[in-house]
């Protein structure tokens, strides 16, 4: 018996990890098909890598907050189960790579000892809640959004309403109108606001909805100028319920919330949300913010005596990477982590530093960096020297030299070109040839290995995403160049324009041309984006057009950055195929699990959870029948409609009323113990009805 079965104190977590272990065994024995296992695996932070036989593990860290114990734990896990490398993502998570699938339950159990989860770090669920890394210390913030982001994370973790959405769902919290958490690209984004109501200052949020990046970026809509803090969780819950019911299921490219809003209209969607109010588990959820209002007195540790070895370097570092907090006498230090990669030996030393000298907290940033908070001014020289020993004092934190990149073809199945390889070259080009850009925070440079925008290229002033070009029978690794993206503030942003596709090896030349052109022709202190918009897209197309010419090329152009052989385009390589089994039987088996969970929730007094689990059991059962008849099952609402059309109205299935009437009791009846029990009984009866029908049909076939 594996140790994780007995060492996890939280019974929900223990059940989760044991279930993962069982499902891995069923999958490897051919008793669960690939699609069914993939869904469960992804919802537990386990993502197939480009390299066959190993997994990427995504560790879910709400708003990037870590303490010393947690960072030590992650380092220990990475050394034991992986390669000792930690990768910071643009959603403030940490990823570790090259993990054996068999060992993932043990890995997860080790992390949970320090209250770290993998649950819903990937998959069609509520992903990591992101927030401004400066939340709580930002001089411009109306209040600290940390406790609100934390409450949302905890409320929706393992919540039955968001376990099997049509697609992923992303939420962010920005601490001020600067919108540093990028509300305009999220499914739901919150920006901190206050209002005077009856003479009292009241906290709330501006609420943005249905933004997104990817191949079709969309600016989020403002749906509330001010929503009080106790209304945000009910609003998200209603949104998720409607998205779950009406969201696309089959066409992955059309399954995000932004596509549903475009399809039915924002007004209709908001009407559905209003109609869903009766079914909510809570109509208001008060969130305590007391913990965030004060910072505990820092340990009065003695300031270590040392002499700064290079005063000029120290001064440059302070100017570039050190920020004054709203708390008098305290400072934050930004660490530029190149491409988000650092190693466990340095992580442990950093963990010890923050525990003893910095209130035992750091935040990972959406730009793949690290922010250490709450440092006394007298300790800055000490931190500089210690961080310098770790290689963590490169200047340019948050500047043009702080390039963001997804892993690209290093490990990702979907990568087309080496985003990390080009990113390193672009950083080197700027550092060597344009050192004055070390403090330029007007220009951001972001790269993705494909159009899916994990590197957020669409919102960069200068962006690149991976593509390919053909020259005869050979393929050239290439990148699409984009210009003019960025955050405008208060929920507004601008998506970059596609300019031209060029070979990857000419990326540094493209950057040189852009910088020289900007420096030579800008007006005074004109920003890069203002210059771009004034001059126009055509100018930049013509500027970069010679780099796209591949009529005469050398051999090097066919070799991607970091490689020695000619480029081969390979997408989606790496995940093993499972044994294909009866999908209808699998769905009905899953229904049994859902109804069992509904029963357990009912016994635990979680009425709303039980009701929703019964609802998903009914939907799953109906879906199984429709699939058996080769009927498309794109949305839950469509499943209900088609089931009544094909079965109920024709009398093929005898039930009291229609499936529509049964299903939508969920939104017309308030959550209570009586209704939860009644609804579970009806769900079980419906399942037995369908199971009997299928059993008879199989007998007839034999």
Phi, psi of 189 (to 5 degrees): -125, 140
DSSP per residue, 360-378: T-EEE-TTS-EEEEEEEGG
pLDDT digits (tens, 9 = 90+) for 662-683: 999 998 898 899 999 999 999 9
Q: Can you give the pLDDT at residue 31?
A: 82
For β-strands 55-59 and 221-228, DSSP reports them as unpaired
What's the pLDDT score for residue 3? 52
Q: Which tokens hold the place of 689?
A: 């009805």
Amino acid 11: pLDDT: 82
With H, G, I as helix, E, B as strand and everything else as coil, classify residue 446: strand
Q: How far apart are CA 28 and CA 102, in angstroms?
A: 10
DSSP annotation string for 227-251: EEGGGHHHHHHHHHHHHHHHS-SS-
- Residue 491 DSSP code: T
Burial of 533 (0-12, 13-18, 19+ CB in 10 A): middle
Render pLDDT for 16-51 as a digit per residue (tens, 0 to 9).
898 899 889 988 888 887 777 888 888 888 998 888
Selected residue with higher pLDDT from 656 and 81: 81
pLDDT computed for residue 653 by the predictor: 79
Measured distance CA(165)–CA(241) in Å, rounded: 9
- Tell me the two tokens of residue 248: 């696309």
pLDDT, position 253: 80
Residue 162 — φ and ψ, nearest 5°? -135, 35
Identify whether the C-beta of residue 88 lies closer than 8 Å to the C-beta of residue 8.
no
Contact 177, 167 (CB under 8 A): no
Question: Which of the pair, 380 or 297, is modelled with greater confidence?
Answer: 380
pLDDT category at 2 given cuts 50, 70, 90 is very low
Is residue 120 very low, low, confident or very high in pLDDT (cuts 50, 70, 90)?
very high
Residue 625: pLDDT band by 50, 70, 90 thresholds?
confident
Angle, helix 673-701 to helix 583-603, in steps of 10 degrees: 160
Min mean pLDDT across 305-309, 644-648, 650-654 is at: 650-654
Token digits for 344? Answer: 């466990």
Token pair of 51 as six digits? 């390299």
Residue 234: is its pLDDT beyond 50? yes
Q: What stretches of 447-487 show up as alpha helix (H) in DSSP?
A: none
Look-up: residue for tokens 């490219």?
A: 253
Q: Phi and psi for 460 in degrees, rounded to 5?
A: -95, 150
* The pLDDT of residue 299 is above 70: no
DSSP state at residue 60: B
Q: Domains of the chain by range and CATH?
A: 4-112 (3.90.480.20), 130-290 (3.30.413.10), 311-389 (3.30.70.3340), 404-558 (3.30.413.10), 583-701 (1.20.120.330)
Q: Is residue 451 helix, strand or coil?
A: coil
Could you give the CA distance from residue 312 to residue 323 in angstroms, rounded to a whole number?
18
Give residue-wise pLDDT tens across range 450-497: 888 899 999 999 999 999 998 888 889 999 999 999 999 999 999 999
Residues in the chain: 702
- Retrieve residue 102's tokens: 């068999």
Cβ atoms of residues 563 and 418 within 8 Å: yes
């Amino acid at each position: 018996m594996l140790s994780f079965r007995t060492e996890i104190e939280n019974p929900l977590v223990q059940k989760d990890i044991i279930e993962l272990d069982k499902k891995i065994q069923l999958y490897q024995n051919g008793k669960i098909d690939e699609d069914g296992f993939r869904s469960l695996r992804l919802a537990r932070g386990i993502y197939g890598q480009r390299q066959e036989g190993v997994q990427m593990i995504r560790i879910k860290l709400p708003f990037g907050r870590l303490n010393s114990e947690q960072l030590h734990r992650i380092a220990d896990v990475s050394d034991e189960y992986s390669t000792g490398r930690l990768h910071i993502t643009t959603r403030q998570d940490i990823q570790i790579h090259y993990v054996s699938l068999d060992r993932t339950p043990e890995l997860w159990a080790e992390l949970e000892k320090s209250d770290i989860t993998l649950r819903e770090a990937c998959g069609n669920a509520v992903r990591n809640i992101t927030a401004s890394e400066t939340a709580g210390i930002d001089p411009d913030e109306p209040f600290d959004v940390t406790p609100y982001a934390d409450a949302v994370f905890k409320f929706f973790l393992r919540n039955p309403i968001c376990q099997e959405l049509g697609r992923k769902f992303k939420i962010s919290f920005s601490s001020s109108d600067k919108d540093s958490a990028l509300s305009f690209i999220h499914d739901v984004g919150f920006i901190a606001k206050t209002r005077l109501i009856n003479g009292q200052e009241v906290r709330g949020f501006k609420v943005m909805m249905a933004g997104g990046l990817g191949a079709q970026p969309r600016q989020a809509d403002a749906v509330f100028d001010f929503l009080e803090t106790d209304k945000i969780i009910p609003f998200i819950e209603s949104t998720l319920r409607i998205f779950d019911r009406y969201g696309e299921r089959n066409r992955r490219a059309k399954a995000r919330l932004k596509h549903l809003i475009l399809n039915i209209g924002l007004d209709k969607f908001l009407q559905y949300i209003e109609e869903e109010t009766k079914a909510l588990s809570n109509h208001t959820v008060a969130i305590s913010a007391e913990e965030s209002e004060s910072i505990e007195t820092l340990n009065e540790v003695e300031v270590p005596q040392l002499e700064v070895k290079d005063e000029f370097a120290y001064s440059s570092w302070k100017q570039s990477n050190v920020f004054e907090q709203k708390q008098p006498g305290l400072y934050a230090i930004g660490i530029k982590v190149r491409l988000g990669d650092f190693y466990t030996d340095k992580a442990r030393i950093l963990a010890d530093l923050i525990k003893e000298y910095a209130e035992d907290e750091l935040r990972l940033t959406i730009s793949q960096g690290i922010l250490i908070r709450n440092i006394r001014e007298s300790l800055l020289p000490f931190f500089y020297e210690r961080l310098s020993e770790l290689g963590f004092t490169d200047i340019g934190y948050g500047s043009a030299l702080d390039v963001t990149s997804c892993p690209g073809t290093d490990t990702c199945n979907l990568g087309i070109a080496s985003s990390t390889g080009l990113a390193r070259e672009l950083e080197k080009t700027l550092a060597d040839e344009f050192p004055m850009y070390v403090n330029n925070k007007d220009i951001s440079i972001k790269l993705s290995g494909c159009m899916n925008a994990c590197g957020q290229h669409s919102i960069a002033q200068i962006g690149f995403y991976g593509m390919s070009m053909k020259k005869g029978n050979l393929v050239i690794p290439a990148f699409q160049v984009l210009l003019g993206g960025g955050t405008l503030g208060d929920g507004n942003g601008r998506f970059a324009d596609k300019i031209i596709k060029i070979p990857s090896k000419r990326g540094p030349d493209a950057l040189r041309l852009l910088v020289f052109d900007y420096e030579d022709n800008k007006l005074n202190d004109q920003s890069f984006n203002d210059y771009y918009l004034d001059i126009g897209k055509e100018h930049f197309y013509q500027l970069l057009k010679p780099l796209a010419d591949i009529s005469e090329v050398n051999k090097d152009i066919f070799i991607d950055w970091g490689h020695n052989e000619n480029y081969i385009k390979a997408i989606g390589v790496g995940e093993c195929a499972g044994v294909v089994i009866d999908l209808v039987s699998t769905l009905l088996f899953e229904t049994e699990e859902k109804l069992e969970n509904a029963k357990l929730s009912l016994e635990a007094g979680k009425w709303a959870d039980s009701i929703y689990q019964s609802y998903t059991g009914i939907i799953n059962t109906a879906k199984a029948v429709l699939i058996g008849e080769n009927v498309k099952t794109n949305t839950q609402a469509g499943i209900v409609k088609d089931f009544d059309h094909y079965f109920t109205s024709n009398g093929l299935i005898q039930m009291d009323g229609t499936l529509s009437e049964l299903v939508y009791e969920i939104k017309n009846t308030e959550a209570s113990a009586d209704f939860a029990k009644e609804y579970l009984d009806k769900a079980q009866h419906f399942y037995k009805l369908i199971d009997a029908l299928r059993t008879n049909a199989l007998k007839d076939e034999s």
